[in-house]
Every structure is written in structure tokens, then in C-alpha cells.
Amino acid sequence: MSLTPVHLQFIAIGGLWTIGLSAIAFIGGSIIGFALALARISPSPLVRRLAAGYIQIVQGTPLLVTLFLFYFGLAVIGLDRLPAIVAAGFGLVVYSSAFLAEIWRGCLESVPKTQWEAAECLALTRWQRMTRVILPQAMRIATAPTVGFLVQIVKNTSLASVVGFVELAQAGKLVNNTIFEPFTVFIVVAAFYFVICYPLSAWSRSLERKLNVGRR
């Protein structure tokens, strides 16, 4: 048997779920990641250390294992009837939060110290310094690597297939189970991923170039 339009449509729908899951991971990961980034530069050593600990644990565990942990962990607390997207969503949010936190911490720290001092000398509060002076500058630096990480998120949603969530990769596996043309099927799946990821990569690169030109 060969690939039919019905199969292609099935894979395309998987592609939409990939985008949806990526959005969940990015939005959830951004909220937690932003809080973590702030915690990483907090004046309190305890807060800094806790945030660093969380980030190290998450970054030291393969996403695949994180997903298994959420999948079986939710069952452990009696939530075993939840759809697969819940475990996948939680796992990817946690994963994204740790990496985004580190990216953004780097951007916050790359704003020169003199900017903090200047803001402090103007008698701004810590919150005002952050929102009025530091964040606007850090965000400019952060856009390119953030968009770049979005590519990582999209690619890593493929691992949600291991907990049975039907996104692109899982859709490919299911189609392959009926027609057994693995090479063709996964080339098609890879092409779908490429179509989603490449524009993001290109965008990230052009953002980076613009930033570098602006700095010179």
C-alpha cells in the first residue's frame, strides 16, 4: 500500500497538534521561565539557589524521561484517565521553562551593570528599574535566541508521541503501521517539521543579524 491523500490529511492534522502543543509549551514555559529568570538574579541567595537547582535538575534529565515521569506521576496521584496531552503538556512546559529561564537570565545579565546603577541613582525602585530600564533592553537581546529555542520546542514535541499523544511523529507512526512504508512516511513527516521550523530558524537568524548591526 502507498501513501494516500487520507494519510496525508491525517499527518497534516498531526501537524496542527504539533503546533498546538508547541504553543502550550511555549506559553506555559514562558510564564514559569520568566519567573525563574527573575529568581536567578534575585537578591536573595536562597531564591537564587532554588531556581538554579530546579533548572539543573530539569536540564540534566532527558525530556523523554521527564515525559515518562509526568505520564506515570499523574497516574500515581490518581489522574490516570486524563488525555495524553495533559502529561505531554506538563512535561514540555517544565522542560521549556528551564531552558527559557537560562536564556533570559543571560539576556538580563548582558545589560551593562552601569544601567542598573544609573537607574538606582535616579531613585527608581527595584521594580521600576526592572520594568522601565532593564527589561526593554534585555527583550531586544532576547528575541533572537527565544525564537531559536521555539524551534527546539517544536522539534521536541515529537517526543510526546511516547505517551501516546497523536502529533506529527505519532501520526507518522500510525500511518506507517497501516501501510508499512517507513522511509516514505517519515520523509513526509520530516518535511512537515521542516516547513514549521525553517521559517522560525530563518527569522531568528535575521533578528540576530539586525541586533548585531545595531550594536556596531
Partner 1 sequence: MSYQFDFSALLPYWPVFLQGVWLTLKLSALATVFGFVVGTLCAIARADGPPWLKTVVAIYVETIRNTPLLVQIFLVYFGFASLGLKVTANTAAVAALVVNVGAYTCEIVRAGLESIHKSQLEAAECLGLTRTQTYWHVIVRPAIERVYPALTSQYVLLMLASSITSQISAEELTAVANRIQSDTFRSFETYIVTGALYIVLSFVVRAAFTLFGLVIFPRRRKLGTAI
Nearer to partner 1, 46 or 77 (CB): 77
Residues 72-91 that bind partner 1 (CB under 8 A): 72-73, 75-78
- For residue 172, give Cα distances in angstroms to 15, 179, 194: 10, 11, 15
- What is the DSSP code (8-state) at residue 82? S
Check residue 112 for interaction with partner 1 (CB under 8 A).
Answer: no
Judged by CB under 8 A, which stretch of 38-46, 109-117, 132-140, 182-190 contacts partner 1? 182-190
Nearest to 51 by CA among 133, 135, 132, 108: 108
CA atoms within 13 A on the CB side of 133: 22
Q: Are residues 198 and 26 in contact, defined by beta-carbon separation less than 8 angstroms?
A: no
Query: Smallest gap, in angstroms, from Cβ of residue 148 to partner 1?
Result: 10
Distance of CA 184 to the CA centre of its chain: 29
Nearest to 88 by CA among 160, 161, 16, 170: 160
Check residue 169 for interaction with partner 1 (CB under 8 A).
Answer: yes
Q: Are residues 91 and 128 in contact, defined by beta-carbon separation less than 8 angstroms?
A: no
Residues contacting partner 1: total by CB under 8 A: 38
Site string for partner 1, 187-216 (x = CB under 8 A): x-xx--xx--xx--x---------------
Instruction: Phi first, then psi: give them for residue 180, nearest 5 degrees.
Output: 40, 60
Check residue 115 for interaction with partner 1 (CB under 8 A).
Answer: no
Residues 47-76 that bind partner 1 (CB under 8 A): 56-57, 59-66, 68-69, 72-73, 75-76
> Which residues bind to partner 1, rule: CB under 8 A?
56-57, 59-66, 68-69, 72-73, 75-78, 151, 155-156, 158-159, 161-162, 169, 172, 182-183, 186-187, 189-190, 193-194, 197-198, 201
